[in-house]
Amino acid sequence: MRSDEHEVAEEPQKQDGRKEDVERQLHKLRRRLDGIDDKIVALLSERQTEVEQIIAFKKAHSLPVYHPAREENLISRLRQQGRKVGLDPDFVEELYRRVLRQSRVEQTAHMARRGVRAGATVVSVGGNGAMGRYFCRWFADAGYRIRVLGRQDWSEADARCKDADLALVSVPIEVTTEVIARLGPYLPIECVLADVTSIKGPPLEAMLQAHNGPVVGLHPLFGPTTSTLDKQIVVATPGRNASSCQWLLDQFAAWGSIVIQADAGEHDDIMGVVQALRHFATFAFGQFLRLKDIDLHRTLDFSSPIYRLELVMVGRLFAQDPSLYAEIIFASPERRALIKDYVRCLNDNLTMLGRGDKALFCEEFKKSAKWFASFSEQAIRESSYLIDKLIERF
């Protein structure tokens, strides 16, 4: 039974015939809409086939697959096209961003199998952990030869490191420097030594100490559940002989990642804020909701999209591995000091709260607003987009 029928509150007998008629006409209109949708889906499939042909062609001629300028031109053209036929250009742009992302994901999926140095030998140190296994899969798919050096395998270290082109260390943060020191003597001089630890200072120093060949520190800003590396960030902190390490960075770029260069000190300072402080703030907010035993599901009934967005980020954190967050937050004395400063800064607001001092709040607010001013346009644009997406979907 159509739910429409409940809504027409007229005398049943007299209206039956007319109602059937209305239903029939509405059905006809909807069938026309369905016909259009079928054509759109068919065209999307045709489009996908064309994109596959272009990829094959580019591959055959060693042309780069991703072409940002072409994407922007395409969007501009279709916005105009849309406006001409009475569509909201923002609507057309959003749809096509999604379409283009889909083809990019497909393209990089193809590219995953393209090794920048296919055939080279990668020793995955800690290759049985989640992150180690993850990278083994990517390198293996790209045609590299993989050897795993796990915790139990040190008696075989000599054989496993022989003629290695890359030793990639992905072990827990607290044993990283120790593992690197132990690994060093087994590596051929021309082998690239790299790690994927979330802090970069101490591991990089340890690598430079342990190995005289090329060294680069990496911090991939994603976890082992990320299905595509499209636009995922990898921070690279140069150690020694950057040109010999370049192929490794090119490999990440070929997988779709964005490689950002920084020195280890800058990386660690910024990550204190981006990861440690941010995660701690989220942890503390969730901890408080639990201690107060707030009715989460009822808060969601009432929630503005902003609260909902924040709450799903809190829920996301607590759905993950505690030790991962403990490692990030407690990684260094500097980080712990930063977080303590943050708590103290919150404390400084207690007097204002106690006195109900709105004027002081507004004054502090305005200072921060001024400080954030250069970011505010971007913040509004991106957050409005996210809020729209949240409203659209859930």
One of 12, 17, 86, 119 touching its own copies (CB under 8 A): 86
If one asks whether residue 307 binds its own copies (CB under 8 A), the answer comes out as yes
CA atoms of 237 and 280, how far apart (whole Å): 25
Q: Considering only residues 24-83, where is the footprint of its own copies by CB under 8 A?
A: 25-26, 29-30, 32-34, 36-51, 53-54, 57-58, 61-64, 67, 69-70, 74, 77-78, 81-82
Kindly tell me which of 76 and 212 has the beta carbon lying closer to its own copies.
76
Residue of 212, 172, 166 lying closest to 193 (CA atoms): 166
Judged on CB neighbours under 10 Å (0-12, 13-18, 19+), 375 is exposed
**Per CB under 8 A, which of residues 283..302 are in contact with its own copies?**
283-292, 294-299, 301-302
d(CA 168, CA 118): 16
Does 212 participate in binding its own copies (rule CB under 8 A)? no
Least distance to its own copies, CB of residue 19, Å: 9
If one asks whether residue 175 binds its own copies (CB under 8 A), the answer comes out as no
For position 158 contacting its own copies by CB under 8 A, the verdict is no
Contacts of 219 (CB under 8 A, 6+ apart): 196, 197, 198, 199, 200, 234, 235, 237, 267, 271
Give the nearest distance from C-beta 190 to its own copies in angstroms.
Answer: 24
Q: Does 189 contact its own copies by CB under 8 A?
A: no
Cβ nearer to its own copies, comparing 63 with 118:
63
Measured between alpha carbons, how far is 184 from 206 in angstroms, rounded to an integer?
A: 9
CA distance 88 to 254: 35
Q: Is 17 in the site for its own copies (CB under 8 A)?
A: no
- Rounded to a whole number of angstroms, the minimum distance from the CB of residue 183 to its own copies is 25
Cα 394 from Cα 390, distance rounded (Å): 6
Give whichever of 62 and 155 is closer to its own copies, judged by the CB atom. Answer: 62
Binding of residue 364 to its own copies (CB under 8 A): yes
Give the side-chain half-sphere CA count within 13 A for 371: 6
- Among 164-172, 187-195, 245-253, 325-333, which window interacts with its own copies (CB under 8 A)? 325-333
Q: Could you tell me the smallest distance in angstroms from the CB atom of residue 72 to its own copies?
A: 11
What minimum distance in Å lies between the beta carbon of 146 and its own copies? 27
To its own copies, the closest distance from the beta carbon of 340 in angstroms equals 5
> 270-278 long-range contacts, Cβ below 8 Å, gap at least 24?
271/198, 271/199, 271/219, 272/332, 272/334, 272/335, 272/338, 273/338, 275/198, 275/328, 276/328, 276/329, 276/331, 276/335, 276/338, 276/339, 277/335, 277/338, 277/339, 277/342
Question: With contacts defined by CB under 8 A, how many residues of the chain interact with its own copies?
Answer: 163
- Please spell the DSSP secondary structure of 232-258, one letter per residue: -EEEEEEEE-HHHHHHHHHHHHHTT-E
Q: Does 181 bind its own copies (CB under 8 A)?
A: no
Q: How far is the CB of 98 from its own copies (least distance, A)?
A: 6
Q: Does 221 sit near its own copies (CB under 8 A)?
A: yes
Distance CA 117, CA 143 (A): 8
Q: How far apart are CB 217 and its own copies at their closest, in Å?
A: 14
Using rule CB under 8 A, residue 343 touches its own copies: yes
